[in-house]
Chain A
Amino acid sequence: MFPASRYACKAHRCIRALTTLQTDSAAPQLYTSLHRRTCSSVSTPRITTHYTIHPRDQDPRWEGMEMERFADEADVVIVGGGPAGLSAAIRLKQLANEQEKELRVCLVEKAPQIGAHTLSGACLEPSSLIELFPDWKERGAPLNTPVTEDVFSIFTEKHRIPVPILPGLPMQNHGNYIVRLGNLVRWLGEQAEELGVEIYPGYAAAEVLFHEDGSVKGIATNDVGIAKDGSPKDVFERGMELHAKVTLFGEGCHGHLAKQLYKQFNLRENCEPQTYAIGLKELWMIDEKKWRPGRTEHSVGWPLDRHTYGGSFLYHLNEGEPLVALGLVVGLDYSNPYLSPFREFQRWKHHPFVASTLEGGQRIAYGARALNEGGFQCIPKLTFPGGLLIGCSPGFMNVPKIKGTHTAMKSGMLAAEAIFPKVTAENLDSETAGIHVPEYSESLKNSSVWKELHAVRNIRPSFHNYFGLYGGMVYTGIFYWMLRGKEPWTLKHRGMDANQLKPAKDCKPIEYPKPDGKISFDLLSSVALSGTNHEGDQPPHLTLKDDSVPVARNLAIYDGPEQRFCPAGVYEYVPVETGDGMRLQINAQNCVHCKTCDIKDPSQNINWVVPEGGGGPAYNGM
């Protein structure tokens, strides 16, 4: 399919795969391997070597290895250095300084520097920032672009239908700022360090630790120095344990530790399964004549059909150079396994309204990340003994506004305010060793976040009707704009995104245009721009519960959708070296940590775990 094989592991394997492709099918863009089927004359080669699937205590190569971990105590440990985690850390230290109390707050982040894994549009509602730092302007927070123009369109293939944004509609952006969220997060990190938060970028939280009574004790960071085949290398070192009275989990959308916690504490028994979208984004330096600083453009419609939720954004930044941030969001509840969000994004850029802005410009960055679309109906139970969930991890995004940063920050701040009295109390009477703070849920339910999410709760699910997008827009117009979401009913989502795919035989392959190299580009050059890299000699962090499922099920029934929905070319189906049939090749080094595969795999066989800290994309102000 892609010349991705050329860049994969071993040269001779690649060349052989490429030769087979060329002599094989006539299908120009898509590798429809249905004819190859699953009749492989060789058994499934071993793909997954990670210790979460193949435990080390039963592995003879690990006999006698020193597995003791160094442990340290903090008052609060925060997993994740994004807007939620940093806001919580800052708020905790602000309270500690106000009340002259000692508080040790440690924050671990898998990115090599704070902000390197942050990706967002973004059009920020400054309410939470103003609350956290009323003097944000004097402190130099990078909010440099107030929104001056708001344009909304419905795209057809060649034309656009302008839609007026009446005041009161969720998409209205008056008073908001276009920001490069990575830069804002970096600034928040600096503020946090000044306040005394211990920030450790480059160290990923890989394991949740539990007390004997089942409450959360803290986290352990990732081990380093494990070879690709799962055996220990000379430089093997165990991760470190960080124990805390309360642990805050702010891993962002679809966090891997949160996934474990949902199961462990049954946090999702009274809410709907979360539904997601994937957001792909690029930064472009455009021709100065086309630059309109402060202008925000949003569109729905082409190239997505009315049953595939999604839309685009294009923001003109005002930071001294003609930079625009643009992207496409595609709902992951789409049903056609031939859909490739990446190629939809590349094709969207050719629409006359968009191409006119990009002509003569230069692309300087690329990235992708999954985001929450479930809203109110999908908020799980937020607290458990020893910890709580903040930010996009449980998911507080206001979907029609496409804003989740202000709610994530607010949730972090409310968490800090709720746990502060408990972690600084002299003699706390706690039932469990890890402190339970249900006050956090209570304060969240009484806050603006809850009201906001409640008001827009029916907009996204209203999309699931015969008229698709247009039905949804009509619903929004009537019930949100006129009635502010006060209708007494709550619509349901469709269920898990992974279950929405139809078998490939029931769907039509989509003909995507070839990238032209000026406005649209191929996948691999895009991935290179994300700066992503990982230590090559480590077990792939995209683990499969069962190595045979990809070929037996994903490829056979759905024609291998992971080759299409991964925005980084991690998954490829290549012919086996000897004999007939295909195998799944995982190019783990390309991963940009978007989490889409874990969400959309129809067999739910892929489990994304955290790789060695410091790996992943190197976003700069995305």
Chain B
Amino acid sequence: MRVIDYAVKIRVKPDNSGVVTDGVKHSMNPFCEIAVEEAVKLKEKKLVKEVVAVSCGPQQSQETIRTALAMGADRGIHVEVSGKDYESLGPLQVSKIMAALAKKEEAQLIILGKQAIDDDCNQTGQMTAALLDWPQGTFASEVSLDGDNVKVVREIDGGLETIRINTPAVLTADLRLNTPRYATLPNIMKAKKKKIANVKPADLGVDLTSRLEVLRVDEPPQRLAGMKVETVEDLVAKLKDAGRV
């Protein structure tokens, strides 16, 4: 997934309809990098035969796919979504696309990043599994493929949970799953020769209409100055004044 780079300062558009993306530095979503790395690792261990990198978005998404190819994916699929469709593209639409592609490609494993850093939805992996009726191993911090099932160690609030699910399955990558390798220049050059297929959502029978409408985007409110008080009584009085107590 191609998102605004995490170090860039985000600016809301003057008409409050969204954030400024024109010319802004974009990179692959950090969790997607981890997902690609895991897939390539599985191929290197000879547990899977082929790694296909998929991205939904405008023309520039091809660069993101190219990076995945340079990391070791075998071929890419670019699902072209641009303009207004891209602005309203959300987890529901992406998971429908993923489900359609998984059936078409007869995939055994879908590995996604747990969430995108621009919308923080954390829904695509789960929705994809539901649409396909496949088991899901989300927030994975360790993945072991063993024949027709996968052992997944999941990071949950209480600690770590280990589950075993059958393939085909959907996994979503969490931060500690691995450290992604660099896309080195010789690999980028080789990646130029790898194929990226172009697909339209309509070809997959996917309807992109969004069920959500963004009404407004605002910057977080400016942090107000605090007030210092001398005694506990002052504090209680001020809280009472503000109607908090």
Contacts and interface: CB of A to CB of B under 8 A. Distances in A.
Interface stretch (A84-92, A144-152, A528-536, A595-603): A528-536
B25 A532 contact: no
Contacts of A533: 5-7
B163 interface: no
A235 B23 contact: no
Given A112-B27, A531-B9, A235 B185 contact: no
Interface in B1-22: 5-9, 11, 14, 22
Nearest to A535: B182
Interface in B178-207: 179-182, 184-186, 188-189
B24 interface: yes
A618 B8 contact: yes
Interface string A189-225: 0000000000010010000000000000000010011
Contacts of A235: 179-182
A57 interface: no
A618 B7 CA distance: 8
Interface string A593-622: 000000000000000000000000010110
Contacts of A529: 9
B9 A528 contact: yes
A239 interface: yes
Contact of B186 (A70, A108, A112): A70
B184 A621 contact: no
B23 A186 contact: yes
A225 B184 CA distance: 11
B184 A531 contact: no
Given A321-B14, A532-B7, A618-B8, A225 B25 contact: no
A186 B24 CA distance: 12
A186 B22 CA distance: 12
Nearest to A240: B185
B5 A618 contact: yes
A620 B8 CA distance: 10
> Which range holds the interface residue count of chain B?
20 to 34
Given A113-B25, A182-B23, A235-B179, A224 B9 contact: no
Contacts of B14: 285, 321
Given A224-B184, A321-B14, A533-B7, A72 B189 contact: yes
A531 B23 contact: no
Main secondary structure of the interface of B (DSSP, over half): loop
B29 to A, nearest CB: 15
A186 B180 CA distance: 28
B181 to A, nearest CB: 5
A13 B9 CA distance: 27
B235 to A, nearest CB: 24
B185 A221 contact: yes
B23 A239 contact: no
A287 interface: no
B220 to A, nearest CB: 15
A203 B11 CA distance: 28
A116 interface: yes
B184 A240 contact: yes
Contact of B182 (A113, A237, A531): A237
Given A72-B189, A285-B14, A528-B9, A618 B25 contact: yes
B9 A237 contact: no
A364 interface: yes
Nearest to A70: B186
Contact of B179 (A234, A239, A528): A234
- Interface-centre pick from A200, A237, A364 (highest chain B CB count, 10 A): A237
A574 B102 CA distance: 56
Interface in A147-197: 182-183, 186
Contacts of B7: 531-533, 618
A224 B9 CA distance: 26
B80 to A, nearest CB: 19
Contacts of A620: 22-25
- Interface-centre pick from B8, B25, B188, B189 (highest chain A CB count, 10 A): B25
A193 to B, nearest CB: 12
B132 to A, nearest CB: 33
Nearest to B63: A113
12 contacts: A72-B186, A72-B189, A108-B185, A203-B188, A237-B182, A237-B184, A240-B185, A364-B11, A531-B7, A618-B5, A618-B8, A620-B22
Given A618-B24, A620-B22, 19 more contacts: A72-B186, A186-B23, A200-B188, A203-B188, A235-B180, A235-B181, A237-B181, A237-B182, A239-B184, A240-B184, A240-B186, A321-B14, A528-B9, A531-B7, A533-B6, A533-B7, A618-B8, A618-B25, A620-B24
The 8 A-B residue pairs with the shortest CB-CB distance, nearest first, are A533-B7, A618-B25, A70-B186, A224-B182, A531-B8, A240-B185, A620-B23, A203-B185
